Chains A and B, each alone.
Chain A
Amino acid sequence: MFWYKGWLETRFRFCFALGFTVFFLGSAYAYGLKTTAALHVVIGTATVLVAMFCGQLAGAGIATQPAVQATAGLHGSTLFTLSLPVSRLHLLAVRASLGWLQVAGGIALYCGGMWVLFPIVRDTASGAEMLEYAGVLIGCASGLLFISVLLATFLDDLWRMYGTMMAFGALWWASKRVAMPDSVNVFRAMGEGSPLVAHSIPWAALGVSAGLAAVLFLVSLKIVQQREY
């Protein structure tokens, strides 16, 4: 039933994310996506779209509980949630998984739209490469999503979104400034290193993202299991 609760909690922001994806695709259509160079610009910009999904759709299921009364304090209905007969691991896992699925849904809409709307995409990549691109975006988004999940363990929704955007900005800046192999750069893997552009799967970046997601999940779990709300 926590899936049901999570869905009710997030359905409007999920719909907003889908709506924004349609707007993004519409803008690309209006822009006239007909050249490879233009396609690469759209693919690079899609990295921001995916980051926005992660910032918007992540949650930890505990601290980000909205309140009915504005005066009720930071955690709103958190006390009610924690009084239910369920472990904090369950709360965290369900909410984080739901966020992950919604991010995957947004990415699927984006990739599907790109494939259907733009012949240039079909001309430059095979269907398998498009699927690989979607998989890479979902894989790379996982690491970013769990940054937001971690922040959701101790920040309310508004500050979590601000915090997530700042963290993503700092990571993006670091990815440009800090010397590291291109192969492990998660942002690059979603753009110029993606299967649509590089025609290969960035396994190293996917590994980094998966490792980051796993570590952040464990840290988040430790926090929610130890924290007194």
Chain B
Amino acid sequence: MNDLIIETTGLTKAYKGHAALRGLDLRVPRGSIFGFLGRNGAGKTTTIKTLMGLLRADSGTARVFGIPVTEGSASLGDSCIEVRRRIGFVTEDKELYPYMTVRQILRFLRPLFPKWRDELERRYLEMFELPLDRKIPNLSKGMRSKLMLLLAISRGAELLILDEPTDGLDPAATEDVLRELVDIAASEGTTMFFSSHQLAEVELIADHIGIIDQGRMVASGSLDEMKAQYQRLQVVFEETVQAPARWVDGVENVRQMGRVISILASRNVDAIVEQARSLPGATVERFPVTLKEIFMEHVRGN
């Protein structure tokens, strides 16, 4: 069995000459909680729409559950019906049918998903305190986000694709939702592929990360490995000095503020520490990096 639930190779997509995806290579391991990060307009939603069979890629391949979603169909998306049956999806805009109540949209969706989980539906209806007979436009944005999550989770999906799932939720609700997502991933073995601008949230629950910038994957892998790979070194001098013009290979970024030089290193950390210590009057400390620092490093300047 392929251990990748999503795999894209060289995926490109342009809108009226503007390139949204430029050879995207994405690998999402089965069972992972994959945080898909990028700035606004980086290509996250285009990627998600392509994976759902809603957009046609210009070139490259994409497979979900090993099923091609970008090729072999003259009719857009019809090859992806089986894929969509196995996916729970939360759209970025959280738009649902305004003429339906909560009860009606549940009644509408249930038969479309043969693995619909009644017990999960009941559980989350209670947990999210969603009023069954309230019309969707009369729900707050946070409640609509919760309803979309409920609809995605109750499908009994093997893969949850969540585009900004906690958008509109208050901090307490966000924490509840994140905890539930982790629980589902752990208890059901569901893979989660979610995009978010809330890096702290991603860092809290994701075990894998992909950073997309200008339509390309600029970093991808296990979050633990990524955080182990990167270190911030703080070099403090007794008096203000001129930082070396050349550092050992592996230095990604250097910032100097008076007597302090801050270095972000991606490899050769020991050699960089050695070089820093060889500078007159220098003391060196190592710090773990946050996901935000890794993210900023990859998207800064592009």
- Which residue in A5, A79, A86 is a CB contact (below 8 Å) of B93? A79
What's the least CB distance linking B176 to chain A, in Å?
23
Residue of A5, A67, A79, A228 touching B108 (CB-CB under 8 A): A5
Smallest distance from the beta carbon of A204 to chain B beta carbons, Å?
34
B residues at A contact (CB < 8 Å): 49, 52, 54-56, 74-78, 81-82, 84-85, 87, 89, 91, 93, 95-100, 104, 107-109, 111-113, 136-137, 144
Q: A225, B76: Cβ atoms under 8 Å?
A: yes
CB contact between B137 and one of A68, A79, A83 (< 8 Å): that residue: A68
Say whether A68 contacts B107, CB under 8 Å: no
Q: Assess the B78–A68 pair: CB atoms within 8 A.
A: no
Q: Would you list 11 pairs from A and B whose C-beta atoms are within 8 A, ordered by A residue? A: A1-B111, A4-B107, A72-B93, A76-B95, A77-B95, A83-B52, A87-B81, A88-B78, A225-B74, A228-B54, A229-B54
Q: Is the CB of B91 within 8 A of A228?
A: no
Chain A contacts for B77, CB-based, 8 A = 82, 87-88
Number of A-B contacts (CB under 8 A): 92
Q: Which residue of B lies closest to A76 (CB)?
A: B95
User: How far is B107's CA from A8's CA once the two chains are assembled, in angstroms?
Assistant: 12
A51-90 vs B, CB cutoff 8 Å, 1 = contact: the mask equals: 0000000000000011111001100110110111111110
Complex contacts, A88 vs chain B, CB 8 Å: 75-78
Residues on A lying within 8 angstroms of B by beta carbon are 1, 4-5, 8-9, 65-69, 72-73, 76-77, 79-80, 82-89, 225-229
* Chain B residues in 8 Å Cβ range of A67: 95, 98
A66 CA / B84 CA spacing, docked (Å): 22
Bound Cα distance A68, B105 (Å): 14
Q: Return the contact of B85 from the options A8, A73, A79, A85 (Cβ within 8 A).
A: A85
Task: Indicate if the CB atoms of B95 and A8 lie closer than 8 Å.
Answer: no
User: Whole-angstrom distance from the CB of B20 to the nearest CB of chain A?
Assistant: 11
A73 to B92 alpha-carbon distance, docked (Å):
13
Chain A residue with Cβ nearest B85: A85
Instruction: Evaluate contact between B95 and A79: CB separation under 8 angstroms.
Output: yes
Q: A77-B95, A225-B74, A225-B75 are in contact. List 16 more A-B contacts (CB 8 A).
A: A8-B104, A65-B97, A66-B97, A67-B95, A68-B98, A68-B144, A76-B95, A84-B84, A84-B109, A85-B81, A85-B84, A85-B85, A87-B78, A227-B76, A228-B55, A228-B56
**Residue contact A86 to B112, C-beta cutoff 8 Å:** yes
